[in-house]
Structure 1
């Protein structure tokens, strides 16, 4: 692979608190580099008061935000998401014209990231995409992710399975790199808070056993948020455990979920607590001290196993992801959630989860994801990188030949 040493301008996009937390190790390397000029574009939930104005956390971490692009509408319907994407295309296009980066880094699969990718593609700016090749069959994010893969020129996947899927989609094999998950790198590099300090910081007594709960809308199953979360809350009440909730993302029906969580927490504030956004250090600390992670967040699939914490993954939102044995999958009905939580917090299952972490059996772990990504994006030649080729591999004969029934050639 031809490389070049250039002081290049690299833009990094972030639209949500979770995505920023994953990008943080890479951002730190880019900021410290003498050969890279980091430009940070912040949008989406970061700039919304109802989601905690989390851009302040980015600034508190010492990162300069070059562009703040407002796109979110106060809507809980698909139409609102579509309009936000349209605003994103306009605002992010203007931001790219002002920054004129040599490359844009995008992580994940959300609609904000899609708007960033589409704008960069139209501007002929090469895209480096992180977390491609994964599947989340219960969310529109699945299609968004695959679209971003096709718009991107460089790919950094979290497992070898995901790398093969990206290549299967026609991406050039020598531009697809399996580096592991950035989020796990945070676990080894951050000093986590004690349970007492964390409890004092969020104003909640964590001395009793508690579960960490995050539940997002299943965007391919509209109208399910109310019943699914009501079942989850009933199961939590039945468990007798305390619960620390983080609020939902800005997806369709996300506000419905947040309203239900607020009502549930208010019903017993000594036992339940909700926080808009914990931030990376507090969230990982809360995960480390909890009995189990419950809900449908990707953090329960990717990060929790490396902390030795069991996960109860509810419903289809994360269905299809590669997963460790410490993850229990269940349907979104009260009784099945009750049984899953009971199993997850049992001494036997928690001991098994600890062994997974000790023996590094989390399939998402990599030696140094941020270093591997940085080394590649800071040296790879960008000449003709945007002009993609479709990578063909050997197909079975029956797939290479047009079926006679559908051959309309003369």
Structure 2
């Protein structure tokens, strides 16, 4: 029986992968377990390990690794705690394959564990690229050089991995697994949402705001967040507002959030169950902030996505996404643009460039059919890559 270990440290990466996790866990010839760490185990960030337990997945180990601080040292310390506490358990369990998703600190630690313990590793969402200066971007690329094989969301991502010296034989283009459950989900109505959440007034129409700090905006992230809230209030748009992720700068945003906590225009939340969150998302007039959900999932509804500031800049996007700067005037102009009849009309029959919601079965079939041990040793010389590959061949 093939043993597969998935690593997850935050609600976002778990949601990206959970549809594949389900296929693996339900397979009779695969033993699938999760190594759970970081924000999943933090009450401040919603204790999302409970969602994993409710989904019925087998947890090999939980690691309380999160250093909840705004300092630049905190993510490095979090990474070191994860590494030291995971090594012996992974070595003892000796999985046949380790699954890694995304670009956070635990992902590159998982790649190092697999490399040094000679366990094949499979990385999802590599080859993507942003121009925001955030450390996650080079972490993603560094992880790609450490892992055994890749499953990417778009042909452009495949080409980028080839450019950094990865062999095409190691790369599988499957689309984004994030879309699988998203596309298949049937949302509850707006009226049912209001009843479930106990909302007595307003929110007959609403937006969704997800905004995270980024390194180059760390000193001003709370001011940007304030500008977004002020503009939404100025336009009279009720909004569901997510708390930020664990990146440095989040405390400033959380403090700013307290100033609006009683404002009836906003409904603040840490974690909803998946059905509630996706129903809010799919019933929203638009999504605003700087979340990857605006880049990936919003086009499958479709609804407009307004990306504010540096985060996500440079990524390949669908035509429903617009970028703006962080001033109230720019945010106001963007809201007025995406809520116009002409913009809405332009999104009809739009196809999401990141897939159709059938990526998890593709990944599952590849995992079932391949022996990833043949990808373990990376002997290729990047100088010997065929030049024509770089032109889409």
TM-score, normalization by structure 1: 0.89
Gaps of 5+ in 1: 1-6, 397-410
1:349-388 map, 5 Å: 349-356=343-350, 361-366=351-356, 368-388=358-378
**CA positional deviation for 1:258:** 2.1
Match of 1:73 in 2: 67
Match of 1:208 in 2: 204
Cα deviations by residue, 1:26-75 (Å, 9 ceiling, x for unpaired): 01100111121101111111000100000101111222222111100121
**Among 89, 92, 98, which residue is 1:98 paired with?**
92
**CA positional deviation for 1:136:** 2.1
**CA positional deviation for 1:198:** 2.5
Residues 354/92 of structure 1: CA separation in 2 closer, same or farther (3 Å cut): farther
**Among 267, 279, 282, which residue is 2:276 paired with?**
282
How many Å separate the matches in 1 of 2:282 and 2:63?
A: 34
How many Å separate the matches in 1 of 2:147 and 2:370?
A: 15
How many Å separate the matches in 2 of 1:202 and 1:149?
A: 42
Residue 27 in structure 1 maps to residue 17 in structure 2:
no
Residues 204/117 of structure 1: CA separation in 2 closer, same or farther (3 Å cut): farther
Q: Secondary structure at the match of 2:372?
A: coil
**Contact 1:71/1:84 (<8 A) preserved:** yes
**CA positional deviation for 1:366:** 4.4
TM-score, normalization by structure 2: 0.93
How many Å separate the matches in 2 of 1:386 and 1:393?
A: 19
**CA positional deviation for 1:24:** 1.1
Residues 321/204 of structure 1: CA separation in 2 closer, same or farther (3 Å cut): farther
Match of 2:117 in 1: 123
Paired residue total: 384
How many Å separate the matches in 2 of 1:33 and 1:106?
A: 19
What's the RMSD between the two structures over aligned residues?
1.7
How many Å separate the matches in 2 of 1:152 and 1:370?
A: 20
Residues 77/128 of structure 1: CA separation in 2 closer, same or farther (3 Å cut): same
How many Å separate the matches in 1 of 2:196 and 2:92?
A: 39
Match of 1:152 in 2: 147
**Among 240, 245, 269, which residue is 1:244 paired with?**
240
Q: Secondary structure at the match of 2:32?
A: strand
Match of 2:391 in 1: none
Gaps of 5+ in 2: 389-393
**Among 226, 237, 248, which residue is 1:230 paired with?**
226
How many Å separate the matches in 2 of 1:202 and 1:38?
A: 35
How many Å separate the matches in 1 of 2:279 and 2:356?
A: 21
Residue 143 in structure 1 maps to residue 135 in structure 2:
no
Residues 251/367 of structure 1: CA separation in 2 closer, same or farther (3 Å cut): closer
Q: Secondary structure at the match of 1:40?
A: strand
How many Å separate the matches in 2 of 1:200 and 1:122?
A: 52
Match of 1:393 in 2: 385
**Contact 1:93/1:120 (<8 A) preserved:** no
How many Å separate the matches in 1 of 2:340 and 2:106?
A: 39
129-138 vs 302-311, which moves further = 129-138
